[in-house]
């Protein structure tokens, strides 16, 4: 019986040892996590102003029709003009919705040459009745043409 008595005594000491310590709320405080929201500045690059848009060329009176001599030749004729200044190689380009492009001949305009010249483009007959996007190639740079009625202006640096 003696071993049972020692076992009961050890068990009683263990049970009461946990109850002897006084509960203090200061030592058992759990801190709640606080959510901190910060605004991250957008990483927007500073735009440096580029050169101002400039008028590079003018298109007018573009009329497209089936050829005079053959019903199979579809052509678009018009006039191109550039501002006075140094001589430039100029070409008119028509790009259709399927990205097919058709080019006029190359003209040397400006300087001692005239600044205005008629041009002709010969697209495929399947493009009859469609309105392409026009571009003017001055030297080696393409400029898009923005239309206002029957008159278009090719601009540089225009977004």
What percentage of the chain carries pLDDT values higher than 70?
69
Say yes or no to pLDDT of 25 above 60. no
**pLDDT of the residue at 8:** 72
Distances (CA, A) of 47 to 54, 60, 155, 157: 19, 35, 20, 14
**pLDDT of the residue at 132:** 92
**pLDDT of the residue at 135:** 93
The bridge status of strand 107-109 relative to strand 88-95 is antiparallel
Domains along the chain with CATH numbers: 54-156 (2.60.40)
Q: What is the chain's mean pLDDT, rounded? A: 80
**Residues linked to residue 23 through DSSP beta bridges, in sequence order:** none
Say yes or no to pLDDT of 57 above 70. yes
**pLDDT of the residue at 129:** 87
**pLDDT of the residue at 6:** 76
Query: Which of 9-18, 47-56, 96-105, 134-143 shows the lowest per-residue confidence on average (mean pLDDT)?
Result: 9-18
């Amino acid at each position: 019986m003696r071993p049972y008595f020692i076992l009961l005594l050890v068990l009683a000491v263990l049970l009461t040892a946990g109850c002897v310590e006084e509960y203090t709320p200061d030592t058992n405080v759990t801190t709640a996590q606080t959510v901190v929201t910060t605004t991250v500045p957008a990483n927007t690059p500073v735009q440096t102003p580029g050169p101002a848009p400039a008028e590079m060329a003018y298109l007018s009176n573009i009329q497209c029709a089936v050829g005079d001599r053959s019903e199979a030749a579809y052509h678009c004729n018009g006039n191109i003009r550039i501002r006075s200044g140094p001589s430039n190689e100029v070409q008119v380009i028509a790009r259709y919705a399927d990205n097919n492009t058709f080019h006029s001949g190359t003209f040397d305009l400006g300087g001692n040459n005239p600044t205005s010249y008629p041009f002709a483009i010969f697209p495929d007959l399947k493009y009859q009745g469609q309105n392409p996007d026009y571009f003017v190639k001055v030297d080696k740079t393409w400029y898009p043409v923005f239309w206002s009625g029957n008159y278009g202006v090719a601009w540089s640096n225009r977004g």
